Each structure stands twice: as C-alpha cells, then as structure tokens.
Amino acid sequence: DVKVTQSSRYLVKRTGEKVFLECVQDMDHENMFWYRQDPGLGLRLIYFSYDVKMKEKGDIPEGYSVSREKKERFSLILESASTNQTSMYLCASSFGGYNQPQHFGDGTRLSIL
C-alpha cells in the first residue's frame, strides 16, 4: 500500500512565524503535491513537483514556497504565516503522467493565531 506521511496532524503557530510542513512518500513516486482544503472550496492546489528540485505553482501559491531536495520528501513553507492560512493542508503523490491517481496523506490541521 502507498504510504504518504505528513509530519504533524495538528499544528498551532503564530502570525509572522515561518512554518514548515513536511511530507514523505514511500512509493518512489515522481510527482508530489500540496493542497489546502477549506469548507465550501474543495481542494485547491498550492504547488506541485514532478522531479527532485523541480516545482510548479498551482492555483494559490501566494504566501507559500516549497522544497524538494529528495525524491521522497516534499516540504511546504509558509514564509510569514498569516491568519488566512489557517486550513487543512494535504500532501499527495503519484507516478508520473497525467492518468495516475494521487495518493493522499492524512492532512495537517494548521491554525495560525
């Protein structure tokens, strides 16, 4: 079974802090993704990566950056956390190509106070 592990289930940070969310997958997947899920808005793509050190912006990249130094690990960085970044963050991974299902971690519920 595919295993996508997010480092924290719940996280509370303060406004202005730099926040790191970590994601690790164990299936040698080429693609990795970061989404946020908000009530009534569904899943929105923040950033994705299709190879080590490669990244592309998704639909809502403002205020975020990412890092992929190793194939199995994809980090989401909130450069200066703000209250409107309080959300559920979901990491996913998939094999390369467009017709591959993405497999998700259990999410990190992030609260910015």
Q: Where are the strands (E) in the chain, listed by range?
A: 4-6, 10-13, 19-25, 31-38, 42-49, 56-57, 64-70, 73-78, 87-94, 103-104, 108-112
The reply to whether 105 sits near other proteins by the rule CB under 8 A is: yes
How far, rounded to the nearest angstrom, does the alpha carbon of residue 12 sit from its chain's CA centroid? 17
For other proteins, the binding residue among 40, 53, 69, 84 (CB under 8 A) is 40
And the tokens for 102?
Answer: 């993405």
Please report whether residue 31 would count as binding other proteins according to CB under 8 A. yes
Residues 10-29 that bind other proteins (CB under 8 A): none
The pair of structure tokens assigned to 55 is 């990244």
Interface with other proteins (CB under 8 A), residue from 28, 62, 84, 98: 98
Q: Is residue 1 close enough to count as binding other proteins by CB under 8 A?
A: no
Q: Point out which residues bind other proteins (CB under 8 A).
A: 4, 9, 31, 33, 40-43, 45, 48, 50, 56, 58, 90, 92, 94, 96-107, 109
